[in-house]
């Protein structure tokens, strides 16, 4: 099959970016011809059956980049239509068979953020043209029916699209993300736990809580730190990702909070940790949940994450209603500090992740392609 993938930037620095890379490489490995349409890509990337096509864009700022990318990709993909069996976009663009809604609805993110910021920041949002552009692009895609099918990465996202834009339910297919259950697995503890703990001077007996993600405000680093400060027993928090460390370090007190920065060998950090906590204020799904589960880590997250749909309370971890429920987050952490409870949920976490293997994800995607090409 000749598959066109629209992706603004083909880089491997974030969770969504690495997911796209794995998806494209696995399609190519199965013999499909994959054409990636992007502004730029990592020059050292070479793989059979993958072809890159440059989409010209004005990259002065985010507004011009996203607008020009959407416009340029429309004309280029329209010309390439006869050469491709399927066109799938991972970004807000105007010409595709399948629109994969990775970010959900921007209005919902703004709504959740609006509840939690002061007057000056609200004014800043209102006068920022970039937010208006994203809302415009989404309106064109959803209300203009610029798709044959929408992939929602969770029921949370599907309900959001229906509510905000009135899209017919039958036009939306929910396909959860997949995870590499070989790269992320509990056996990594034997291989990497000591290495990472030694790197940060963490004792083998210390209870380690992991957070992974860039965009600390949206993903709830503040609430995690405030929650652990309610716990009397000593814990260590590893925060992996890119964000303004000083802004969030001020919430730490008695407990040890270590900002590790972005890390390429992220599977080692799951191996070094005991549980995973992600008190997000808005997350359409979040690959990190699946990576943690596959690594055998019980997960604490919020109802504002699409991944909360697959996690059962007191089975694979805990789901709190709002990130501000720091007392409930702390209570969940305390329960998991009981070794027996943590081991029980660890086994359940791994079992659950095996239902979301990357191979299974690829099979679902190819089935969808066959149904609409």
Residues 230, 171: Cα–Cα separation, whole Å: 45
Which residues, 6+ apart, have CB-to-CB distance to 132 below 8 Å? Answer: none
Banded pLDDT at 213 (limits 50, 70, 90): very high
Which residues, 6+ apart, have CB-to-CB distance to 232 below 8 Å? Answer: none
Banded pLDDT at 279 (limits 50, 70, 90): very high
Reported as a single tens digit per residue, the pLDDT across 249-276 is 888 888 999 999 999 899 999 999 999 9
Is the pLDDT assigned to residue 13 strictly greater than 70?
no
As a whole number, the mean pLDDT across the chain is 94
List of domains in the chain: 2-178+357-372 (3.40.50.2000), 188-356 (3.40.50.2000)
User: Average pLDDT for residues 350-360, to the nearest whole number?
Assistant: 96
- Residue 206, pLDDT score: 96
Is the pLDDT assigned to residue 45 strictly greater than 70?
no
Tokens representing 311? 């996690």
Banded pLDDT at 373 (limits 50, 70, 90): confident
Is the pLDDT assigned to residue 16 strictly greater than 80?
no
Residues 222, 172: Cα–Cα separation, whole Å: 34
Residues 344, 258: Cα–Cα separation, whole Å: 27
- Residue 20, pLDDT score: 85
Banded pLDDT at 368 (limits 50, 70, 90): very high
Q: Where are the alpha helices (H) located in 99-252, listed in sequence order?
A: 106-114, 119-127, 129-143, 155-165, 188-199, 216-219, 221-228, 245-249
Is the pLDDT assigned to residue 245 strictly greater than 90?
no
Strand order across the beta sheet in which 172-174 lies = 50-54, 33-38, 2-6, 86-89, 98-101, 149-152, 172-174
Q: What is the DSSP letter of 255?
A: S
Give this prediction's pTM: 0.94
Q: At what angle do helices 15-29 and 358-372 cross, to 10 degrees?
A: 70
Residues 77, 88: Cα–Cα separation, whole Å: 10
User: Average pLDDT for residues 330-339, to the nearest whole number?
Assistant: 96
Which residues, 6+ apart, have CB-to-CB distance to 78 below 8 Å? Answer: 95
Q: At what angle do helices 119-127 and 106-114 cross, to 10 degrees?
A: 160
Banded pLDDT at 321 (limits 50, 70, 90): very high
**Looking at the chain, how many residues does it have?**
373
Tokens representing 231? 């716990």
Helix (H) or strand (E) holding 68: helix 62-80
Banded pLDDT at 44 (limits 50, 70, 90): low
Mind giving me the DSSP string for 302-367? ETTBGGGGTPPBTTTEEEES-TT-HHHHHHHHHHHTSHHHHHHHHHHHHHHHGGGBHHHHHHHHHH
Q: Strand, coil or helix: what is 191? A: helix
Tokens representing 363? 């099979």
Question: What's the CA angle centered on 281, arms 280 and 284, to 5 degrees?
Answer: 75
- Residue 38, pLDDT score: 94
Q: Where are the alpha helices (H) located in 144-204, listed in sequence order?
A: 155-165, 188-199
- Residue 176, pLDDT score: 97
> Do 86 and 33 touch, CB atoms closer than 8 A?
no
């Amino acid at each position: 099959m000749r598959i066109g993938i629209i992706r603004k930037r083909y880089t491997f620095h974030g969770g969504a970016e690495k997911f796209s890379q794995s998806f494209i490489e696995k399609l190519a490995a199965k013999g499909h011809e994959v054409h990636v349409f992007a502004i730029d890509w990592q020059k050292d990337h070479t793989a059979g059956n993958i072809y890159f096509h440059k989409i010209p864009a004005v990259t002065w700022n985010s507004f011009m980049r996203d607008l020009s990318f959407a416009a340029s990709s429309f004309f280029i993909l329209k010309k390439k239509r006869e050469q491709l069996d399927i066109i799938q976009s991972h970004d807000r663009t105007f010409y595709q068979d399948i629109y994969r809604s990775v970010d959900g609805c921007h209005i919902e993110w703004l709504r959740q953020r609006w509840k939690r910021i002061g007057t000056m920041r609200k004014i800043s949002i209102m006068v920022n043209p970039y937010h208006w552009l994203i809302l415009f692009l989404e309106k064109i895609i959803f209300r203009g029916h610029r798709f044959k099918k929408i992939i929602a990465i969770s029921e949370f996202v599907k309900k959001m699209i229906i509510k905000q834009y009135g899209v017919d339910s039958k036009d939306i297919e929910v396909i959860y993300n997949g995870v590499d259950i070989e790269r992320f697995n509990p056996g990594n503890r034997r291989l990497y736990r000591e290495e990472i703990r030694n790197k940060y001077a963490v004792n083998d007996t210390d209870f380690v809580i992991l957070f992974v993600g860039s965009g600390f405000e949206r993903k709830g680093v503040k609430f995690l730190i405030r929650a652990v400060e309610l716990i009397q027993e000593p814990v260590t928090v590893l925060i992996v990702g890119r964000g303004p460390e000083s802004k969030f370090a001020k919430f730490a007190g008695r407990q040890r909070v270590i900002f590790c920065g972005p890390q390429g060998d992220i599977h080692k950090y799951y191996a070094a940790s005991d549980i995973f906590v992600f008190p997000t204020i808005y997350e359409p799904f979040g690959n990190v949940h699946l990576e943690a589960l596959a690594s055998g880590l019980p997960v604490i997250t919020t109802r504002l994450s699409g991944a909360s749909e697959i996690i059962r309370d007191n089975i694979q971890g805990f789901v709190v209603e709002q990130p501000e429920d720091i007392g409930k987050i702390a209570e969940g952490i305390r329960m998991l500090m009981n070794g027996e409870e943590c081991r029980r949920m660890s086994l359940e976490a791994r079992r659950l992740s095996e239902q979301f293997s990357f191979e299974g994800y690829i099979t679902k995607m190819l089935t969808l392609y066959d149904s609409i090409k």
